[in-house]
Chain A
């Protein structure tokens, strides 16, 4: 007797996320203490590497978070795109528990993290909820970021750079 076959949907990484994405400054929430931003995304099975390539005047900062869509991971010194004119600091050493999942038939990457920070009164936490949404056609990416401590969402819009574009922030 044949058993019922139940179709199981397996989340499969979407390679359209791969590549370098340049922030459209005019159409995005204002950066603060940064003047330019690229995201470089690399999907490798369940792992997604999110590299932040940031510019502030003559300073360039490149920091990467590697999340996993199959399991929670602990990331040391999790990088977030902060508003640098606020007295909110990353602790010298910290570990952040990060969850990631594919949604919407792999057109959205959801990342959740509760990030420790240092403020004038001591230690605090910001719970961050992010969705990286791939646009139709795969040439645009929208990052929506919600903070537990901020009632205005942050919305960053990116365009994909061609693979031979060597410009950097």
Chain B
């Protein structure tokens, strides 16, 4: 009787398990931490650096640790993407609330710790390099007791090693010690904020991928640093990626991007882009395929009327901008996609795609399969790079390439033009696109070949500019470009909001129509009222180059 009862119970339990297993969705456990906005070296930065290094190690083989940043962090999508992982990938997150708990959970991913010198910023980058090579957690002196309590041993100590040395001397030593062991198809330009505040939120990725970390200058006035920077770039494999961002106050974005472009390399920013070590381990969800919101077919013909046609574009990686701000969808907007996120952050791309409104249109850029300045790409590298870009645009169903070359510009003003040879190269490399757009600030490179126009921005909206003045500026452009149709391409800086642009458009004078970018380019191809122009040798330049 008892045996029969026991057998019945076993059968019932087995039946219950079977029923449960066949109806359960696949889940995976992971952990999440929430960061605040304090990145000051004197307060919360050391703990964040430690946790980010731990994240890189914990995520080496499995996506385990994800970090959510505050809503006002530059990358606004960490919370929406967290929700996406739960919803679409079935991830069950448990929250870790303290650094101690995080260490306790993930210390087995580390073989020890390395100490950096908080009075010498460059030692943080050297420590990150060591962390990737030696599986070490990066700590400041104040955090040593915490990691020791977890049973971790010291692997290296940078206190005192570099006292009184310049960054060139520090990185020169680090190159001698570590460069041979670092990845050769990627490198971490961990620049951005320097001094009192540092924001190395991308360090997890560099550590996971065993990259060499540095913030060497690309400014020709900093010859000692430039020579080391060049040495590293020369050693990288063709087509490698420079992750991170240029160091604020040491050089300029223009110098840094121009330099790496001369080696045919790609930039993927920013220095504070978080969670790549987590994001890279996901693919698109099963059955997902990118389909863009096309408003015209590739071979369709449109005819422009006597109007002012306007189109809005936002570059600057959609993760940091207007995407999450109110009003998106009220106006046709083109969004330049960071195409390499198909490798490093596919879930983010799928999230943008899923949350797109019919008025959101995705385009390729910037300039190629990564951020680069095409006037400076070596001739033999250009077709290979653009071949990569074409493949990515095919995956992402994109028909427009956005180009930007600020090598001669002064921030977002000045000379952002393309030489004729560069324009020729794009037309040859992309026979099947609808067209090209160019610039960041305004520019005057324009052309039309067969049905593919190349149109530069006629206007850049500074987010701080009063909307009344933006309206007056646009009306002035309309008054100056009197021949209709007039094609007015507008670049929207990422911290604008769409609602304010709706008001601007309402106050424009004349027969203005805001259209999607693909329609805009088709219309511009039908009636060329713009002048063909390329960069000229005697155009004013801000940075004269190398």
- Residues in A lying within 8 Å of B, measured CB to CB: 29-30, 32-33, 56-57, 59, 83-89, 92, 117-122, 124, 126, 147-152
Judged by a CB distance under 8 angstroms, whether B472 is at the interface is: yes
Judged by a CB distance under 8 angstroms, whether B382 is at the interface is: no
Closest B residue to A29 by beta carbon equals B469
- Nearest Cβ in chain B — how far from A111, in angstroms? 19
- CB–CB A87/B459 < 8 A: yes
Closest A residue to B415 by beta carbon equals A89
User: Cβ of B357: which chain A residues have Cβ within 8 Å of it?
Assistant: none
User: Cβ of B442: which chain A residues have Cβ within 8 Å of it?
Assistant: 84-87
- CB–CB A121/B531 < 8 A: yes
- CB–CB B462/A32 < 8 A: yes
Name the contact of A150 in the complex, choosing from B411, B412, B476, B483 (C-beta under 8 A): B476
- CB–CB A87/B529 < 8 A: no
From known contacts A30-B466, A149-B480, infer whether A121 and B530 are also in contact, taking CB-CB under 8 Å.
yes
From known contacts A118-B444, A121-B482, infer whether A57 and B411 are also in contact, taking CB-CB under 8 Å.
yes
Judged by a CB distance under 8 angstroms, whether B144 is at the interface is: no
Closest B residue to A83 by beta carbon equals B473
Judged by a CB distance under 8 angstroms, whether B177 is at the interface is: no
- CB–CB A85/B472 < 8 A: no
- CB–CB A85/B413 < 8 A: yes
User: Cβ of A33: which chain B residues have Cβ within 8 Å of it?
Assistant: 413
- CB–CB B480/A126 < 8 A: yes
- CB–CB B473/A59 < 8 A: no
9 further A-B contacts with Cβ under 8 Å, apart from A59-B410, A86-B477, A151-B472, are A33-B413, A56-B411, A56-B413, A85-B412, A88-B476, A119-B480, A120-B487, A122-B531, A124-B482
- CB–CB B410/A121 < 8 A: no
Name the contact of B459 in the complex, choosing from A59, A85, A118, A152 (C-beta under 8 A): A85
Digitize B346-373: 1 where CB-to-A-CB distance is under 8 Å, 0 elsewhere: 0000000000000000000000000000
From known contacts A85-B459, A85-B462, infer whether A124 and B410 are also in contact, taking CB-CB under 8 Å.
no
Judged by a CB distance under 8 angstroms, whether B460 is at the interface is: yes
Question: Closest 3 A-B residue pairs measured CB to CB?
Answer: A87-B442, A152-B472, A149-B479
Give Cα distance in the complex from A86 to B476, angstroms: 9
Name the contact of B480 in the complex, choosing from A59, A88, A92, A152 (C-beta under 8 A): A88
- CB–CB B458/A86 < 8 A: yes
Give Cα distance in the complex from A86 to B473, angstroms: 7
- CB–CB A32/B456 < 8 A: no
User: Cβ of B457: which chain A residues have Cβ within 8 Å of it?
Assistant: 87
Digitize B447-478: 1 where CB-to-A-CB distance is under 8 Å, 0 elsewhere: 00000000011111110111011011101110
- CB–CB A120/B444 < 8 A: yes
- Residues in B lying within 8 Å of A, measured CB to CB: 410-414, 441-444, 446, 456-462, 464-466, 468-469, 471-473, 475-477, 479-483, 486-487, 509, 529-531, 538, 542
User: Cβ of B481: which chain A residues have Cβ within 8 Å of it?
Assistant: 119-121, 124
Closest A residue to B474 by beta carbon equals A86
- Nearest Cβ in chain B — how far from A63, in angstroms? 13
The 18 listed contacts between A and B (C-beta, < 8 Å) are A29-B469, A30-B469, A56-B413, A59-B410, A59-B542, A84-B441, A85-B441, A85-B459, A86-B473, A87-B456, A87-B477, A88-B477, A89-B444, A121-B483, A147-B476, A149-B476, A150-B472, A152-B471
- CB–CB B410/A85 < 8 A: no
- CB–CB B477/A84 < 8 A: no
User: Cβ of A151: which chain B residues have Cβ within 8 Å of it?
Assistant: 472, 475, 509
Give Cα distance in the complex from A29 to B466, angstroms: 9
Choose among A30, A56, A118, A119 the residue with the greatest number of B CB atoms under 10 Å from its CB.
A119
- Nearest Cβ in chain B — how far from A9, in angstroms? 38
User: Cβ of B483: which chain A residues have Cβ within 8 Å of it?
Assistant: 121
Give Cα distance in the complex from A141 to B42, angstroms: 46
User: Cβ of B529: which chain A residues have Cβ within 8 Å of it?
Assistant: 121
User: Cβ of A88: which chain B residues have Cβ within 8 Å of it?
Assistant: 476-477, 480
Give Cα distance in the complex from A152 to B472, angstroms: 6
Closest B residue to A123 by beta carbon equals B531
Name the contact of B475 in the complex, choosing from A85, A87, A124, A150 (C-beta under 8 A): A150
Choose among B458, B473, B480, B509 the residue with the greatest number of A CB atoms under 10 Å from its CB.
B480
- Nearest Cβ in chain B — how far from A145, in angstroms? 12
- Nearest Cβ in chain A — how far from B524, in angstroms? 11
- Nearest Cβ in chain A — how far from B472, in angstroms? 4
User: Cβ of A92: which chain B residues have Cβ within 8 Å of it?
Assistant: 538
Give Cα distance in the complex from A148 to B442, angstroms: 22
- CB–CB B542/A120 < 8 A: no
Closest B residue to A85 by beta carbon equals B460
- CB–CB A150/B479 < 8 A: yes
Give Cα distance in the complex from A33 to B412, angstroms: 8
- Nearest Cβ in chain A — how far from B374, in angstroms? 20
Give Cα distance in the complex from A167 to B236, angstroms: 46
Give Cα distance in the complex from A88 to B442, angstroms: 9
User: Cβ of A56: which chain B residues have Cβ within 8 Å of it?
Assistant: 410-411, 413
Closest B residue to A121 by beta carbon equals B481
- Nearest Cβ in chain B — how far from A76, in angstroms? 16
- CB–CB A84/B468 < 8 A: no
- CB–CB A117/B480 < 8 A: yes
Choose among A57, A86, A150, A152 the residue with the greatest number of B CB atoms under 10 Å from its CB.
A86
- CB–CB A121/B476 < 8 A: no
- CB–CB A32/B410 < 8 A: no
Closest A residue to B457 by beta carbon equals A87
Give Cα distance in the complex from A107 to B357, angstroms: 57
User: Cβ of A150: which chain B residues have Cβ within 8 Å of it?
Assistant: 472, 475-476, 479
Closest A residue to B441 by beta carbon equals A85
Give Cα distance in the complex from A147 to B473, angstroms: 11
- CB–CB A120/B475 < 8 A: no
Give Cα distance in the complex from A121 to B479, angstroms: 12
Give Cα distance in the complex from A87 to B441, angstroms: 9
- Nearest Cβ in chain A — how far from B399, in angstroms? 23
Name the contact of A30 in the complex, choosing from B465, B475, B476 (C-beta under 8 A): B465
From known contacts A84-B413, A149-B480, A150-B475, infer whether A120 and B469 are also in contact, taking CB-CB under 8 Å.
no
- Nearest Cβ in chain B — how far from A37, in angstroms? 15
- CB–CB A86/B479 < 8 A: no
Choose among B412, B442, B446, B530 the residue with the greatest number of A CB atoms under 10 Å from its CB.
B442
Give Cα distance in the complex from A59 to B441, angstroms: 16
Name the contact of A119 in the complex, choosing from B443, B471, B477 (C-beta under 8 A): B477
User: Cβ of A85: which chain B residues have Cβ within 8 Å of it?
Assistant: 412-413, 441-442, 459-462, 465, 473
Give Cα distance in the complex from A117 to B479, angstroms: 13
